[in-house]
Amino acid sequence: MICTCTLNPSLDYYLEFSEKVEDGKTNRSDLEYFEAGGKGINISIVLNNLQIPTRAYGFLGGFTREFYIDLLQEYSYIEPTFTYIDGHTRINIKLHDGRDTDLNATGPYINEADMKKLKDKVSRLDEGDYFCFAGVCPNYLEDDVIDMLKNCIANGVKVALDTNARIIRKMLPSKPFLVKMSSQEVEEYAGKNNMSNDDIVKFAKGLVKEGAENVLVLAGKNSAFLACESGSYQSNLLHQEKTVNTVGTGDSLTAGFLMNYLRSNDVVDSFRFAASCASATAYSKGLATREKIDSFYETEEVKKLD
C-alpha cells in the first residue's frame, strides 16, 4: 500500500477572473470552486487517476474538516486516514486572471498529543508499504517527524521524502527509498545560486552517496533528473505545444515513480513513467489522467548521462 502524509493540507478556493485583478478595488470573479489541496494529497489524486489505492494521512480540523473529506469522496481509490484536531484546516485562496496569485494561510498548531496519534497510526505500516512524506514541516515538529520516518524504515517501509532540507539531510543515513526535490530546493540545500544542470546532477549523485536510494529533481519546468545506484538520467518534460498548467508536476513525478516501481521494481522505467505523469499534468488543466499519461509514455525518452 502507498500512503501519503501531508501535515498541513489546505482547502483551496479557486477564483478565476476574465480581467486583471486591480489592487484596492472590488473584483468579481467569473468562476469559483474548491479543491482538496496539499502535496501528499496531489500525489494521492494522481495515483487515484491511475487506479492505485492510497491512504492519506495528516491533520484535519474545524468547520472545514467535513467539507474537505466530502471533496475526497469523488476519488474512489483514496482512503482518508487523517488525525482530527481542534484547530481549523487552512483555506488557501488561488487567484487566476491570466496570472496565478496564491494567498496561503499558515495553518493550525499541532500539539504533542495530536502528533502522537499520527505517529501511532503510521507505526502500523509494515514491510511492503510505501510512506510518502510530502510538504513543509514546521520546525517544532521536525524531531517527531524524523523519529516517525526512522521507525518506518526500521519496519521495512519504503520512505519517500519531498519536504524540508533539514529533514532530508538528517534522514540520509537511514537510507530513504526516494528523495524528490526541485532545482530551487537543490540550490537552497546546497547554498548556491544559478546551478547548471550538470551541477544539479552532481548534487543528486552526492545524495545517493550519502544514503538516498533514488533522487528525483524537477529542474525548472523543462527537465527531470534521476540519480540512483546505476547512474544518472534525464528526461525532457515540455514539448513544442503550449502548456496548460505546471502546478503539480513535481507531485505527479513522485506519484508516477512510486506507482511504476510498485509494479515493476525497475528504477529507470519508473523514471520514464514518472516523467510521463509530470508531462501529462503540464498539459492538463488539473492533475494528470490515465489517458493523458499513457499518451506521453509512448514517446517519453530517458537519456543516460554517465
Q: Which active-site residues does the annotation give? A: 251
> Is residue 77 a contact partner of residue 54, using CB atoms and an 8 Å limit?
yes
Three cell numbers written together for 72: 475526497
- Per-residue DSSP letter, 77: T
Q: Is 119 exposed, middle or buried (0-12, 13-18, 19+ CB in 10 A)?
A: middle
CA dist 277 and 261 (Å) reads 14
CA dist 113 and 61 (Å) reads 14
Q: Exposed e or buried b for every residue in 54-64, given b needs 16+ CB within 10 A? A: bbbbbbbbbeb
Q: Is 195 helix (H, G, I), strand (E, B) or coil?
A: coil
CA dist 249 and 44 (Å) reads 13
Three cell numbers written together for 176: 530513504
Q: Is 150 exposed, middle or buried (0-12, 13-18, 19+ CB in 10 A)?
A: middle
CA dist 80 and 73 (Å) reads 9
For the chain, the first-to-last Cα distance in angstroms comes to 33
- H/E stretch holding 247 reads none
